[in-house]
Amino acid sequence: MASTSSSSIWKRWIKPSRIVPLLTLLGAGIANVLSFLSILKLSTPESIIIALLALLAIDGLVERISLLEKIDSKLQNSSTEQNLRKRADLPRVVDQAQFASEICILGVGAHFEVTQHLGFYESKIRDGCKIRVILLNPESSSLETWKLLNKSSVPKKRIESTLEALDELMQKTGVKDKCEVHLSDILFPFSIFATDLQKQSGMIIIEYHAHNVSVDERPHIKLTPSDSHYWFEYYRQQFEAAWSNSTIWKSLNP
């Protein structure tokens, strides 16, 4: 057991990134031993230089070990529990989309995301921001599945209320093609609130649907390209596919 433990310690220490500092320390040690045995004669300046090189090598090793320990600690602490959040733990819509040039929403009714922030969306549209919204078609047969999943009897009314709010938004801004709405017959297992999907500064929040729980209790996760390029791209493509396969909803008051 002792030999196994000592070998694992050596494996942790002997790494390519540490070869140069270790060789420097080894060389300084050999030079001092030879000087002590009078095999190698070193002047005072040479002894000082060797000592400084040894100190620099030790400093380099300590710094690299400290950095690696911090990285290991961060990776170990990165768990699903920390990544999944409740809605209350996420930034507000206004804060998330404050500097966005595009806002994308995918949801069953997206009632809260739309109706509670109409003033904000209006100002964003006037500033040139584009908004794309995908809602579940209130006439879709998938609505029955959503009712069973959530024990709810009013999703159709909430969808229609969201559409009325979006219609009001379109009428207020009067900016053509800056606010587009599609209706989907497919019930997706998640909802999306995203900004700037085509940019490195983009952000996606996914809300996973769950059986018979409130919105605040559903698990949410926030993704950026720097966090996980693969999963950010995955959900970006999911939104774009939903957009392509849904039908255009026309304003009630064109």
Mapped onto helix, strand or coil, the DSSP state of residue 184 is strand
- Give yes or no: residues 45 and 152 share one domain: no
Domain boundary among 77, 100, 129: 77
Nearest to 221 by CA among 197, 199, 190: 190
| Closest to 172 measured CA to CA, from 184, 161, 164, 182 | 164
CATH code of the domain in which 240 resides:
3.30.870.10
Q: Which of 22, 47, 77 is the last residue of a domain?
A: 77
For 138-183, what is each residue's pLDDT tens digit?
A: 999 888 888 888 766 668 889 999 999 999 999 888 776 889 999 9
Output the furthest CA–CA distance in the chain (Å, rounded).
Answer: 99
Secondary structure (3-state) at 248: strand
The larger pLDDT score, comparing residue 84 to residue 133, is at 133
Segment 94-107 shows an average pLDDT of 92
Q: Is the four-CA dihedral 107, 109, 113, 118 of positive or negative sign?
A: positive
| 234 located within any domain | yes
Q: In the listed set 42, 77, 112, which residue is the last one of a domain according to the structure?
A: 77
CA–CA gap between residue 128 and residue 117 (Å, rounded):
17
The answer to whether position 253 is within a domain reads no
Question: Rounded to an integer, what distance in angstroms lies between the CA atom of residue 21 and that of residue 59?
Answer: 9
In a domain, residue 149? The reply is yes
pLDDT at 237 over 90: yes
Same domain for 116 and 229 = yes
User: By residue range, what is the domain housing residue 232?
Assistant: 87-248
**109 belongs to a structural domain:** yes
Task: Tally the domains of the chain.
Answer: 2
Tracing tokens 């509670």 back to the chain, one arrives at 116
